[in-house]
């Protein structure tokens, strides 16, 4: 089986202050298929109780984390070092969005370790850290509030890599779509029913049935959907013929 490039991606948190953000990042990583967490020069201000709690069922990622004293050591073996930055500046001009950058970086991750680097909660990455990055990404955010929580930044970045890989299969509609003949039968039976119950006269058929065509043509219409609506037509005719004012 081919290597999963996500297994070659590590999330490197630099100088992180709060264990809660580390824990939330673990959960976000697990949601998006990432496993490798590295803390570089952590500067943690609280104990691990909050971190453990917010990791929820991703505590394996938290417990298997690696720690390095410096940023340089954390990324020494990486073939690509992808920095994230919200700030602008001379060395931050060649940024891309995570969506723009994802496929190129996944191709590198198929060849060797890749670091996704996230800076301090309060100050981000320093210029000397940015200078060591081979790629820079910036998450699109509203200009009215550009400060994004650390684990939220990890989530969106990881999400873009996960979706770019294209391995996710949406569950597909289990009922097959209705074939055209069934839809035409539905229109015919509804027309008959609508006339029998006195909803429309024969000369109004063209006008009204265009409306019903439109209603039944929106989106996917399955065989089960068509069978259900055919049942309504059958029952309305039966009721008109047999109930004679009962159930009023």
The nearer residue to a copy of itself, 116 or 193, going by C-beta atoms, is 116
Which residues here bind a copy of itself, judged by CB under 8 A?
A: 24, 27-28, 30-33, 56-58, 88, 93-97, 99, 138-142, 144-149, 151-152, 155-156, 159, 162-163, 168, 170-175, 219-220
Burial of 216 (0-12, 13-18, 19+ CB in 10 A): middle
The nearer residue to a copy of itself, 164 or 209, going by C-beta atoms, is 164
The nearer residue to a copy of itself, 71 or 162, going by C-beta atoms, is 162
CB of 70 to a copy of itself, least distance (A): 27
CB of 44 to a copy of itself, least distance (A): 18
Handedness of CA 205, 207, 210, 214 (dihedral sign): negative
The nearer residue to a copy of itself, 21 or 191, going by C-beta atoms, is 21
- Report the distance separating Cα 174 and Cα 163, nearest Å: 23
CB of 157 to a copy of itself, least distance (A): 11
Q: Are the beta carbons of 23 and 54 closer than 8 angstroms?
A: yes
CB of 219 to a copy of itself, least distance (A): 7
The nearer residue to a copy of itself, 24 or 84, going by C-beta atoms, is 24
CB of 202 to a copy of itself, least distance (A): 34
Q: Are the beta carbons of 57 and 29 closer than 8 angstroms?
A: no
């Amino acid at each position: 089986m081919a290597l999963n490039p996500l297994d070659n991606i590590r999330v490197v948190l630099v100088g992180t202050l709060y264990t809660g953000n580390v824990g939330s990042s673990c959960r976000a990583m697990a949601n998006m298929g990432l496993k490798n967490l590295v803390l570089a020069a952590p500067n943690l201000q609280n104990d691990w109780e909050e971190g453990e709690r917010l990791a929820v069922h991703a505590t394996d990622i938290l417990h298997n984390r690696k720690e390095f004293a410096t940023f340089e050591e954390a990324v020494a073996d990486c073939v690509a070092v992808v920095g994230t930055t919200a700030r602008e500046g001379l060395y931050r001009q060649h940024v891309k969005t995570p969506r723009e950058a994802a496929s190129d970086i996944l191709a590198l991750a198929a060849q060797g370790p890749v670091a996704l680097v996230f800076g301090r909660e309060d100050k981000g990455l320093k210029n000397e850290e940015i200078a060591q990055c081979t790629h820079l990404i910036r998450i699109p955010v509203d200009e009215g509030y550009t400060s994004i929580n650390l684990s939220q930044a990890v989530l969106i970045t990881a999400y873009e890599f996960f979706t770019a890989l294209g391995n996710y299969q949406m569950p597909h509609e289990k009922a097959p779509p209705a074939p055209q003949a069934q839809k035409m039968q539905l229109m015919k039976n509804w027309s008959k029913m609508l006339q029998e119950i006195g909803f429309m006269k024969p000369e109004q058929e063209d006008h009204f049935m265009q409306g019903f065509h439109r209603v039944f043509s929106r989106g996917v219409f399955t065989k089960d959907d068509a069978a259900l609506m055919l049942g309504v037509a059958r029952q309305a005719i039966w009721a008109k013929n047999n109930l004679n004012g009962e159930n009023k």
